[in-house]
Structure 1
Amino acid sequence: MARFKPSEDHPVLVGLVALVGVAVAIGLVLGVVALAGSRVAGLGETSTADSTADVSAGETLYAPRPTRTSATSEPSEETSTASSGGGSQGDGGSAKKNNKKKQKQKRISLSASPQQVSSMERIDLTGTYKGGEGSVLQVQRLQDGSWTDFPVTAVVSGGTFSTYVQTGYAGEVKFRVLDSDSDRTSNTVTVTVG
């Protein structure tokens, strides 16, 4: 009577069983490690002390409805300067002067280099935007009497920005940049193309 030896008669089957056994063992080990890691990290745990502390701290996802406020509800630099200055202009004149000063500080200044290029040659647009840190400026071109967005933007970093454009339009091409968040625009620069 011949004895049955599975390893000799069916080597592929034995290999598959061994492969499945190893995969199950590795899966179990990884599962235990993941479970232990999540417990160490504190995932999935809620203690009653923590949950009551969060509720008592007033932390919610509720956002109140916005309400209109009057212009005089918050003290500003203009109000305090005008009232403490005691100047002869009065509150209105001083506030207007401060507003003009603030607008001048947040002015976008743009320059283009070179002033004359060939078609599709690089035009460097650089400038400053004090108080506009992190703003994304949209480059615009004057086309048929209206400003159209050029497919280029520049980000303000350290009060300055820099980008470049290329155009195939011949003649005098006018560019500017727009801060769409505040609707501020830069001065217009003209480049002769062609």
Structure 2
Amino acid sequence: MDDGEGRPVLTGLLALVGVAVAVGLILGFVALAGSKFLGLDSVSDSSQTTAERSMYLPKPSKTQQPSGPLITLAPGETQAPSSSGSATSGSDKKPTKKKTPKTQISLSAGQTAVSPMQQIDLTGVYPGGEGAILQVQRFTSGAWTDFPVTASVSNETFSTYVQTSQTGVNRFRVVDTDTGLESNEVKVTIG
């Protein structure tokens, strides 16, 4: 038997292992050089300035809570003027603001006119009503009836939407299901 007869397989395996090790080392060095070039290496340079850093997070600090409810006026509404320019409109607005208690539900509609079955956004503020469930109601045939939509109050605010195919002027409001407190009404023209 010849000594070279069993060795071609062994020689082939050793050559294959040698090539795999060489390719692995080359790829490892390329990856290492690439990570250093891209700045992904784990070594941190202490002389690095904050301008070179990719992200800066400031230290958290306490902020003041708003002193009153956050109210967005409905389209077309304006704040009451500070001067008494018009006696009738100024006197009408001022008593209602004085009469309103702190626990008033303020409702506004995002749209004033929509097509049938188009979304109507209802949003509002309910100071002190955290966690309350508000039932949406529509004025139909001379009475307020429940609309199949509710909204929950979170951070003294709420939002929901309704869709209806009933054309004409629709009047909506919300009612607290626990206390029965009612919001102002909003009017939306459908059609």
TM-score (norm 2): 0.48
Question: Which one has a larger percent helix, Structure 1 or Structure 2?
Answer: 1
TM-score (norm 1): 0.47
